């Protein structure tokens, strides 16, 4: 760096310091985060996952993601409105499970197709409302023209 350029930069820094541009900066007086931690080649990935709040399920291998989906199947089909939608959802899950069984990728876990009729029956049993007796109708008020003396 030529000395003339260096002195121009240093002059700008000095004037900014005198104006107070560097006062009350965030992190002032605090150690640099991660400076003393061991060197991690994946530091930027871990930081992005924390910053972007990426769900852990998105990072699972296919076999574990399918296993988790089977375990949470009752919660997944609960908001579906029709039996046809429940059957289609379970059949689509079974298609993905069969595809994984043919070409297993990731850790080997015990995983088999889900019984569509069993899931549908559980969904139907949960959806049947328990009928409560209708409340008594409210007492009828006399009409306003009959209330006059």
* 3-state helix/strand/coil string of 98-123: HHHHHCCCCCCCCCCCCCHHHHHHHH
CB-based contact 62:92 (threshold 8 Å): no
Listed in sequence order, the residues at least 6 apart from 49 whose beta carbon sits closer than 8 Å to its beta carbon are 59
Q: Residues, the chain, total?
A: 149
Which of 59, 62, 87, 58 has its CA nearest to residue 73? 87
CB neighbour list of residue 107: distance below 8 Å, 6 or more residues apart: 61, 63, 64
**Whole-angstrom distance, CA of residue 36 vs CA of residue 56:** 27
For 76, other C-beta atoms within 10 Å of its C-beta total 16
pLDDT of residue 133: 64
| Global model pTM greater than 0.75 | no
For the cut 80, the answer to whether the pLDDT of residue 141 exceeds it is no
Q: Is the separation of the CB atoms in 93 and 73 below 8 Å?
A: yes
Tokens (6 digits) for 87: 């059957």
> Binning pLDDT at 50, 70 and 90, where does residue 138 land?
confident
Q: What is the pLDDT of residues 61-104, one digit of tens each?
A: 999 999 999 999 999 999 999 999 999 999 999 999 999 999 98
Angle separating helix axes 83-102 and 116-127, nearest 10 degrees: 150
Distance, CA of 91 to CA of 73 (rounded, Å): 12
């Amino acid at each position: 760096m030529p000395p003339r350029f260096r002195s121009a930069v240093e002059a700008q820094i000095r004037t900014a310091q005198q104006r107070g541009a560097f006062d009350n900066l965030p992190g002032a007086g605090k150690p640099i985060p991660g400076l003393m931690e061991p060197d991690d080649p994946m530091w930027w990935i871990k930081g992005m996952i924390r910053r972007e709040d990426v769900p852990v399920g998105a990072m699972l291998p296919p076999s574990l993601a399918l296993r988790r989906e089977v375990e949470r199947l009752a919660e997944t089909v609960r908001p579906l409105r029709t039996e046809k939608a429940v059957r289609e959802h379970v059949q689509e899950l079974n298609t993905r499970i069969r595809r994984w069984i043919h070409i297993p990728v990731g850790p080997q876990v015990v995983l088999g197709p889900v019984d569509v009729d069993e899931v549908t029956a559980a969904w139907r049993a949960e959806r049947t409302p328990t009928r409560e007796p209708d409340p008594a109708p409210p007492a009828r008020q006399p009409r306003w023209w009959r209330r006059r003396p």
